[in-house]
Amino acid sequence: MFFLNTQEVQSSSENVPGVQQSPEGQEEYNIDIPQEDIITKFWNCRILKHHKLVQEDLYVRNGIIIDSEQLFYSEKRTPHFDVDCKGMIVAPGLIDLQINGGFGYDFSYYKDTELAVKTVSKKLLAHGVTSFCPTVVTSPYYIYHDILPKIKRQKGGRHGAAVLGVHAEGPFINKEKKGAHPEKFITDHKGTMLSIKEAYGAGYENICILTLAPELRHSDQIIRKLKKDGIVVSLGHSMANLSQSESAVKHGASFITHLFNAMLSFHHRDPGLIGLLTSDQVDLDKLFYGIISDGIHTHPCALRIAYKAHPNGLVLITDALSALGLTDGRHKIGQMDIEIKGGIAFVAGTNTLCGSVTSLLECVKFFHKASGCSMEFALECASLHPAKVLHIEKNKGTLNVGADADFIILNDYFDLISTWIGGDMVYKSGN
């Protein structure tokens, strides 16, 4: 069966045997060819492709973007369905590499882990997110052992955004830059992979990003081994100087966790982690950094500095909490109580910021306005760039031929119209 919303779709097939209503309120088309052979054309749209918005049609078959010339001239076929995008923008689905939870659920809380992932995954579709990395903050070992095996990689679809793997933010960080992380559970890896695997247990294999402080002794050798295991090492919650930071990157670290937050402030004699953005000792083409552009965690001037210094490495993240999508009040993140006041999240009873309650699409919108960058670039900072961090840019974060047909349709004001995964509409604004 093949599902499309009939208000958006005009069939180009003259022989559709039957139509019946699906539980989702979409039309179900029974057609006399296998589902994997159905071809859908998206037209009257501006596609974000090769860093530009181009007036071009998009063709999808079996969840993959296909070559129209190959379709017409070699296969001599035409689409079965047409989707009129009404002049809107078609951009790659957004990818959030750091999100702690949302909508009342926290990934670091050991109860209802599967329900938390399921709920957040589904609700993120309404914010244009088609893939994400559930983030688990510093926790006691028994928490890791319980929840990490339950957060498995999964494909996206009507059930929700794809889970790309866990972002383990801690516990191997610096206590002096703990931020909202509970100090009593912060520990040292002692330079051994045994310590790493003892901390995470069987869930180690579900980790795709690991944040650590590079100044911890023997971190370079740990970084090399983590990279060999296919894990992206991110530097953060750190007191590292520039030399330590550069050494970590030379040994395989390729990401910086929420730039400017939970690290040494910039100093002209030793700029620390921040100095990596203009270092001549590392390959900047392979270095990326996350940044929270919610108007709270990072001042617009700081956003502009980062953007001007190393634009191609900029990755927009939310660092969103369980309170994403909720009103002001007290909530829980990991082992800590938090309080939302006026849309700002604090460690309860303090003035310490502990994450964002802003959606990724809103971060894109704020960054676009604050930096003065193009709309195309702002969208790529939340799609193509994070895909490059995980080395999945051939399949995600792009609308090139051969990529997964995960995309969003939006207007020129960043208002989301609909979200699509595998060429299937999984969310429509107003529904």
| Binding site residue list for substrate | 180, 261-262, 269, 297, 353-355
Catalytic site residue from 82, 96, 106, 319: 319
Which residue is associated with the tokens 């971060």? 363
Measured in degrees and rounded to the nearest 5, phi and psi for residue 355 equal 130, 175
Nearest CA to 207 out of 263, 266, 149 is that of 149
Residue 4 has phi, psi (to 5 degrees) of -145, 150
Q: Is 280 a catalytic residue?
A: no
Query: What is the distance between the terminal CA atoms of the chain, rounded to a whole angstrom?
Result: 22
The DSSP line for 82-151 is: EEE-TT-EEEEPEEEEEE-EETTEETTSSSSHHHHHHHHHHHGGGGTEEEEEEEEES--HHHHHHHGGGS
CA distance 370 to 384: 20
Residues 197, 201, 206, 211, CA torsion sign = negative
Residues in binding site = 169, 180, 237, 258, 261-262, 269, 297, 353-355
CA dihedral 277, 245, 189, 332 (to 10 degrees): -30
Q: Report the distance separating Cα 116 and Cα 134, nearest Å.
A: 10
Which residues contribute to the annotated binding site for Zn(2+)? 169, 237, 258
Question: Please, what is the angle between helix 360-371 and helix 300-309, to 10°?
Answer: 80
Residues classed as catalytic: 319
